[in-house]
Amino acid sequence: MNGAVGRVGSEITRGQFLKGASMLGLVAGAGGLLTACGGGGGGASGPVGLSVSHYPTLLYTVPWAVAIEQGYFEERQIQLEEIVGSSGGGTTVRNVVTGGLPLGAVATPAAINAFNEGSGLKILGGAIGNTADVSFVTLPDRGIESMEDLPGKTMGFSNPGSVTEGCAVLALQGAGIELGEVKLQAMGGLSEAITGLKEGVIDVAPVILPTAISQVEEEGLVPVFQTTEYVDAFPQLVMIATSQTVGQQPELLQSLMELYGQAVDFTVENPEEAAAAWSKNSEVAEEDAVASLEAIDPSTYYTTTLSADSLNLVVEEMKAINLLEEGDEVDWGELLDQQFLPEDQRVDPAELA
C-alpha cells in the first residue's frame, strides 16, 4: 500500500467510521456550527453549520484540522464552535438540503443522485480527488499476489453503492478483467469484510487508511493492490451547497472554499504538521497520521479542481454499479456552479458525459 506501514491503536468498524464525531471538522460529512463574527470576510451573521463526512477518523478530515490549528477560520472572522460526525453521503446531503447547513463535502455519486431527485443542490468544486486511501487485501493462503490472480475468486466490498464497490468495479475494468470473471460480494461493512475474508467467504477485502495500517500489520493481511494503480483521478468527495445558499451567502461560500484550498496548500508543504493537527483533533495516533499522509500524495488527493475525465469516470462508475441507468444523463450545466473556483480549476460542462 505505497509504504503505508505503522500502527493504529485499535481496529475501527465501518459503523464507527460513519459515526465518528466530536472535536473538529467541516466539509466532508459531519454537522457542525460556525459563528461568523461581525460583518467580515465570512459573509454570514449568526451560527453557520457545515457538514463533514466520516469525521474525524478518515483522511478527509486533515485540511479542516489544519484550518483549525493554523487559525484560518479566525482570519476570516469565522468562529468554529462544534462539529458532529454524519453517517456518510445521504446524511450529508440531508444536512445541507433540509438541515440548513450551507456547505458540505459529500460523495460525488450521492450529490448526483440528490440532484437528479430534485434537491436543488449545486456542486461548487472538488474536495477529495482520488481513492489513494482505499486498498484491497487478502490472506497468505489464498494464492493471490496481484490483480491478475483474481479471476475465479470472490472480491468483497462494504455495501452496495459504496466507494469500495465502485473501486472494485473500476479496478477490475482498469486491469482488463471482465466483471463476470470475479464474483463481487457485499459484506455489510468494512470490518464485516475482514471477518468474511478470515472465514473464507471472500478472497479479497477492502481496507481504508488509517486503519489499514494496523490491520495489515496485526492481522497478517497481504496487500493485493492499491486502487489508484488501476483507477485514474476519481473525485471521492465534492463540495456542495443549495442554490438558495449560493444566492444568499456567496461571500461565506467563497471564504470557505478559499480556506479549504489554503489548508490543502499547507498540508502539501507541511505534511508532518498536518498529521499532527489531524492527530490532535482525533483519536488517530500521530505516527499513523504521518504514515497515512505518506501513503497518499496530498497534492492530488486533496483538490478543489474539477476535471472532465474524473467526473465522467464517476458517471461510468455509477452506471457500472446500477446507481444510474445506461441511458441516464447528468445535467452538468445545472448541477455545477463554479463561480467560487479559480478559472484554471474549472471544467467545461460541454466536455462532460
CATH number for 305: 3.40.190.10
Please answer whether residues 339 and 250 qualify as being in contact, where contact means their C-beta atoms are separated by less than 8 angstroms: yes
C-beta neighbour count of 24 within 10 angstroms: 26
Do residue 18 and residue 144 come from a single domain? no
- 3-class SS letters over 59-98: HHHHHHHHHHHCCHHHHCCEEEEEEEECCCHHHHHHHHHC
In this prediction, residues 77-82 reach a mean pLDDT of 71
Do residue 121 and residue 268 come from a single domain? yes
Residue the block writes with cell 470490518: 191
Give strand pairing partners of 128: 237, 302
Per-residue confidence (pLDDT) for residue 95, from 0 to 100: 65
Do residue 213 and residue 270 come from a single domain? no
Residue 7 belongs to some domain of the structure: no
Give the confidence band of 106 by pLDDT, cuts at 50, 70, 90: confident
In this prediction, residues 184-193 reach a mean pLDDT of 94
Least confident of 44-48, 214-218, 273-277: 44-48
Examine the fold and report which residue of 229, 251, 272 is the final residue of a domain before the chain moves on. Answer: 229
The cell numbers describing 68, all together, are 483549525
Assess whether pLDDT exceeds 90 at residue 29. Answer: no
Distance, CA of 260 to chain centre: 14
Assess whether pLDDT exceeds 80 at residue 92. Answer: no
In this prediction, residues 139-162 reach a mean pLDDT of 95
Examine the fold and report which residue of 214, 229, 244 is the final residue of a domain before the chain moves on. Answer: 229
C-beta neighbour count of 213 within 10 angstroms: 23
Phi/psi of residue 234, nearest 5 degrees: -135, 110
Do residue 162 and residue 100 come from a single domain? no
Between 141 and 91, whose confidence is greater? 141
In this prediction, residues 143-172 reach a mean pLDDT of 94
Per-residue confidence (pLDDT) for residue 26, from 0 to 100: 40
Do residue 206 and residue 240 come from a single domain? no
Per-residue confidence (pLDDT) for residue 3, from 0 to 100: 41
Examine the fold and report which residue of 201, 229, 257 is the final residue of a domain before the chain moves on. Answer: 229
Per-residue confidence (pLDDT) for residue 216, from 0 to 100: 92
Give the confidence band of 353 by pLDDT, cuts at 50, 70, 90: confident
Residue 55 belongs to some domain of the structure: yes
Least confident of 72-86, 187-201, 208-222: 72-86
Do residue 52 and residue 85 come from a single domain? yes
Residue 3 belongs to some domain of the structure: no
* Cα–Cα distance list, 161 to 81, 88, 109, 143, 320 (Å): 33, 12, 9, 28, 10
Rounded to 5°, angle at Cα 251 from 95 and 65 = 60
Residue 8 belongs to some domain of the structure: no
Helices (H) and strands (E) counted in the chain, each on its own, are 15, 11
User: pTM of the full predicted structure?
Assistant: 0.84
Per-residue confidence (pLDDT) for residue 105, from 0 to 100: 82
Do residue 25 and residue 113 come from a single domain? yes
Residue 307 belongs to some domain of the structure: yes
Domain assignment of residue 172, given as a range: 134-229
Give the confidence band of 31 by pLDDT, cuts at 50, 70, 90: very low
How many domains in the chain? 2
Residue 242 belongs to some domain of the structure: yes
Do residue 191 and residue 281 come from a single domain? no
Q: What is the mean pLDDT of the chain?
A: 85
